[in-house]
Amino acid sequence: MPTPFTHLETAQRMLRDDAIPQPLRDALAAEEPAFLLGQIAADARTNGDLRREDTHFYSYDHSISESPWRVMTQRNPVLLRPHSPAQRAFVAGYVAHLTVDEVWSLDMLGAHFAGREWGPRPFRFLMLHILLIHMDERDYARLDPGHYDSLIRAQPVDWLPFMSDQTLADWRDFIGQQIKPGGASQTLEVLGSRIGKQPADLRAILDSPETMQRDLWAHIAPDTLAAVESSMYARARDALVTYWHESE
């Protein structure tokens, strides 16, 4: 799934997107710390020893039949009745995250990595992570430096019934340390450990245009990635607006 830096870049665009009603954007901007944390919170499961289905409301061994954010609110209807403006902005960000991951899972992971055999499964799994890192590094470079000061001010107060405030705060701090001035991304280390690769091995692939073209772009064209990302963003934006109206 897309990394926290890609989700933060999505949040950044939403805060500036004229297609989102101005009153909604104003409300999100007023609670920017909570909104930014909401956009990355689902991935705090890695810190909280939670399963994907506990935080993303689907698993890889079952097809997605209903939007995960709908499943989340059906199982936790209290999220449609937020107790504070901060919680509402946080959940709106969480809804956007789940929708980005839903589209990625169906339109990229399922359609082009699981559903096509353009190389051995371990090779495709490696290239999936190379693609995610490529997006991650692009989006990390696009982040507004001010997001650190904003994110680090998020103070969860019973924002989720299925994840503790402490887990959210720990994740806030872990991501915040990477985006603060002078900070450094740990994506290569985190994803490398997941797939049994050293950061230097991943760096060598990413820094070789010839290898990237042969092993990734020849199978997943940049235009294909752009189309999926466009759909991810548009669907996430629509879901955010829908949640906002339904949570009034």
- What does the DSSP assignment read for 124-157? HHHHHHHHHHHHHHHHHHHS-TTHHHHHTT---S
pLDDT of 47 reads 57
pLDDT of 172 reads 97
The rounded percent of the chain whose pLDDT value lies above 90 is 90
Cβ partners under 8 Å of residue 241, min gap 6: 20, 21, 24
CA–CA separation, 36 vs 55, rounded Å?
17
pLDDT of 45 reads 67
Domain that holds residue 177: 4-246
- The tokens for 164 are 């503790």
CA–CA separation, 209 vs 73, rounded Å?
44
CB 7 within 8 A of CB 147: no
pLDDT of 91 reads 98
Q: What is the pTM (predicted TM-score) of this model?
A: 0.95
pLDDT of 65 reads 83
- The tokens for 215 are 């092993």
Structural domain total, the chain: 1
CA–CA separation, 156 vs 147, rounded Å?
17
Cβ partners under 8 Å of residue 164, min gap 6: 48
Burial-class residue 36 by CB neighbours within 10 Å (0-12, 13-18, 19+). Answer: buried
How would residue 144 be classed by pLDDT, with cut points 50, 70 and 90? very high
Q: CB 64: neighbour CB atoms within 10 A?
A: 18
